Structure 1
Amino acid sequence: MTAVIHAKERKSFTNSSRRKARKQGQIPAVIYGKKQENKAILVSESELLKILREQGRNAMLNIQLDGENHQALLYELQHDPMKNTIIHADFYVVDMDDEVDIEVPIVLIGEAKGVREGGVLQQTTHEVEVRAKPAYIPSAIEVDVTNLEIDDTIHVQDIQTDGQFKILDEPETVVATILPPENEDLDTADEQKSEEKEDGAVEE
């Protein structure tokens, strides 16, 4: 579903004008693309936050600017590290028939069998780069870990894409694994130490 976000051209670029815009609930931004010249704009902070909350970062956007509609994706967000607020946004105008490369988050679903047996689920890859036409960009990629047992691993090559998008990361990249219980690691270490002591005693 395409989300509408209203924008207006930004004509002042001073620090004071940016601060004033943010106080008024506007976020300084830029819109650009292959066939779209770079243009500084202001967008509604409340509209953008609602879209991020309800549809995610990869939502298709209809940016309404100067009476024209621009199909775009949110390309980059800049945050204030102290206030955790958005201070700038980049929007990339897309052609719906052209593929684009974009980062997509990975969400693990299900309770792994190995976790029920005491193992620990470790997710090492939280997002992957995807190539797809804008209409087929997923908001997130769900990976079912229900059948994972202790020491099992899921790689990028194990993710099903249904042919609608292609994952560009290396196929061998580890997404998630089930680590053995910590006490099991300790038991194994103790066994190894005992064996080493026994071997030493035999040699003497």
Structure 2
Amino acid sequence: MKEINVAGQKRTDLGKKASKMLRKEGMVPCNLYGHATENGKPVALAFACKMSELRKLVYTPHIYVINLQIGGQDHTAILKELQFHPVTDALLHVDFLEVNDQKPITIGIPVKLNGLAQGVRDGGRMNLSIRKINVTAPYQNIPEHLDIDVTALQLGKSIKVGELNFEGLEIATPKDVVVCSIKMTRAAVSAAAAAEETENEPEA
């Protein structure tokens, strides 16, 4: 995965009122969940980041390993959850998950379809059903995207998660989930019908 640096500042004033004030100042309330627990539940480090810092991380199709600097301390993390305003789509809150070399993580990786499918050559339309597949692995082994060769995919056929295999990665998305398929179009139906008529024509 690509790396990105994000700076934040610790916050001690919590609650809705404090969060609202932060947002007015162009800051976004954040939590970092690490390996510390209290009564069996994860303990979060509360901090805030400038919206300008988060924009490059949030509004992108890429996934990143994040080098977080909070109050002079460095943390390695990934995005855990984003919360947006239901009406304005403004970013309200971000949760980060701290990672290390030993413990595998589960994360959604973007799908990249490679090749021109046979079904598309025959007039069909490629339909991408899911944009990310969840995988589990040490964060150093996580790729930027998952390459899937669709060259041999024919009309009416699909590729399911269970048919895929990526070295060093354990797939966490259910096996029966369809990744992509070739849908029949009117052009493909017309071409198939014309081909069938040609085959059935009597020889002169």
Alignment TM class, shorter chain as reference: 0.7 to 0.9
Deviation, 1:70, is 0.6
Match of 1:42 in 2: 48
Give the direction of change, closer, same or farther, for the CA distance of 1:4–1:55 in structure 2 (3 Å limit): farther
Match of 2:183 in 1: 179
1:125 touches 1:176 (CA, 8 Å); kept in 2?
yes
Give the direction of change, closer, same or farther, for the CA distance of 1:16–1:35 in structure 2 (3 Å limit): closer
**Length, aligned pairs only:** 186
Match of 2:28 in 1: 27
Q: Which amino acid in 2 is paired with 1:21? A: L
Q: Percent same amino acid at aligned positions?
A: 27
Deviations 1:101-129 (A, max 9, x none): 12223233443221232112222233222
Give the direction of change, closer, same or farther, for the CA distance of 1:142–1:187 in structure 2 (3 Å limit): closer
Distance in 2, Cα, partners of 1:146 & 1:18:
50
Match of 2:98 in 1: 93
Match of 1:127 in 2: 132
Q: Which amino acid in 2 is paired with 1:12? A: D
Say if 2:103 is the partner of 1:82. no
TM-score, normalised via structure 2 length = 0.79
Counterparts of residues 51-200 of structure 1 (less than 5 Å) = 51-53=57-59, 56=62, 58-161=63-166, 163-182=167-186
Deviation, 1:74, is 0.8
Note the residue ranges of structure 2 that are not aligned, 5 or more in a row.
38-42, 193-204
Match of 1:201 in 2: none
More helix, by proportion: 1
Deviations 1:36-65 (A, max 9, x none): 741211012222221345672x31111111
Q: Which amino acid in 2 is paired with 1:145? A: V
Deviation, 1:22, is 1.7
SS at match of 1:75: strand
Distance in 2, Cα, partners of 1:27 & 1:146:
44
Over aligned residue pairs, what C-alpha RMSD do you find? 2.5
TM-score, normalised via structure 1 length = 0.79
Distance in 2, Cα, partners of 1:156 & 1:54:
24
Give the direction of change, closer, same or farther, for the CA distance of 1:54–1:153 in structure 2 (3 Å limit): closer
Distance in 1, Cα, partners of 2:80 & 2:191:
49
